[in-house]
Amino acid sequence: MSRRALFCLSVLLVTSFAVSPARADEPNPTPSAPPAPKETPAPKEEPSPAAAGATASPTTSATSATSDDIQPSKDKERKVSLEPKAAEAPPVGRVTFDIDPFADSAMIAVSLGFAGTLELINSTGEIRPQQIAQPFDRSQLFFLDRPAVAQTPDPRAGTYSTIGLGAAVAFAFVDPVLSGIREKSVQTGLADAFMYAESMSFSLAMTSIVKMAVRRPRPIAYIDAEEHRNVPGYTNNSTDSALSFFSGHAAITATVGATATYLAFARAPHTARPWVTLAVGTLLTTFVSVERVRAGKHFPTDVIAGSIAGAGIGVVVPHLHRTDDIKQRRIWVGYTPLGDGARGGLFNVNGVF
């Protein structure tokens, strides 16, 4: 037994002896008043079933809680779970998107910086274009690409394709504003703006990397080489003439269309809006692709590959930002008392660090 316990026991014994009445066999030196009649103890109330499982506590002050405020440990209202709960109930029938302004801005800046640096390198003429061999035959091309070198390029087609690309980029600026108005939320508009910017910057960077890696001559370069087949010492000095694969116009247009379609299906799945968006995006991408081929800038396989790459990026980027529920608290602390009359409990801390 500890010293503290022995001390308390000694004090308790001394107190009990000091206040205990004198025994009958001991002399009583002073007369005392007749003993007061003993009070009949009040009948002890049985605890109610609602308070049967409540833990007994010493009397402290008049402000202690009443028995009606105490919930038994086995009551359904006292049941708890060690798993973290969502701070809010997830919105029914609505898809939300999570944006990290710092991380997303950094990725956009890196992509644009990378694509811009490659464009500056290409503009210097430092990278020499691939030369087309003199005995080249059109039959060596893929069958879908042969008509591209058999045509007469239309100079206006390049302008038309650029106008189509400009319309897609303009929609990428307008659609976040419309989303913010429809949802009555500035955060929604900002989230859409970040997703459009990230999709287009990724598509632009990927296009620049592939163009530099492949360096495929454009159809107009093949046409020019055939016209100078018998000219001795003919060489192609234009770096841009060897950046055919894949089409950047088609890729960025498809990226915008895919992003817009994904957001439309997420926010208005049971309306005509997503289907109209899909149809308009597909038609605009097809128009831009056809005009790039007519201008002699790309082969059909170039615009097909660009459209596939752009559409893939346009779907993946918003999908990675999608979150169907409200984020849980990062740190959650819980305490669960042990049942069946056992003492103690389980202290639990969960979190994301």
Unique residue bearing structure tokens 């990226």: 255
Q: What is the pLDDT of residues 65-110, one digit of tens each?
A: 444 555 555 555 555 555 555 555 545 556 889 889 899 999 999 9
In the beta sheet, which residues pair with residue 350? Answer: 332
Give the model confidence (pLDDT) of 286-324 as tens digits: 999 999 999 999 999 999 999 999 999 999 999 999 986
pLDDT for res 10: 56
Q: What is the pLDDT of residue 314?
A: 97
Residue 342: inside a domain, yes or no? Answer: no
**Residue 328 belongs to some domain of the structure:** no
Residue 250 has pLDDT above 50, yes or no: yes
Q: At CB < 8 A and 24+ separation, what contacts does 209-215 make?
A: 209/114, 209/118, 210/245, 210/246, 210/309, 211/243, 211/244, 211/245, 211/246, 211/248, 212/118, 212/122, 212/127, 212/243, 214/245, 215/127, 215/129, 215/130, 215/242, 215/243
Distance CA 303, CA 311 (A): 12
Percentage of the residues of the chain whose pLDDT score is greater than 90: 50
- 7-19: per-residue pLDDT in tens? 555 554 444 444 4
For range 233-238, the mean pLDDT:
84
pLDDT at 157 over 90: yes
Q: What is the pTM of this model?
A: 0.67
In a domain, 70, yes or no: no
Question: For the ranges 57-61, 76-80, 275-279, which has the lowest average pLDDT?
Answer: 57-61
Residue 151 has pLDDT above 60, yes or no: yes
Among 38-42, 78-82, 283-287, the range of highest mean pLDDT = 283-287
Residue 38 in this model has a pLDDT that exceeds 60: no
The pLDDT of residue 75: 56
Instruction: Tell me the pLDDT band of 235, cut-offs 50, 70 and 90.
Output: confident
Instruction: Give the residue-averaged pLDDT of 193-208.
Output: 96
Tell me if 119 is assigned to some domain: yes
In the predicted model, what is the mean pLDDT of residues 137-160?
Answer: 93
* Tally of structural domains, the chain: 1
Range of the domain at 190: 96-323
* pLDDT surpassing 60 at residue 162: yes
Q: For residue 250, is it within any domain?
A: yes
146 is a domain residue: yes
- 122 occurs within a structural domain: yes
Residue 287 in domain:
yes
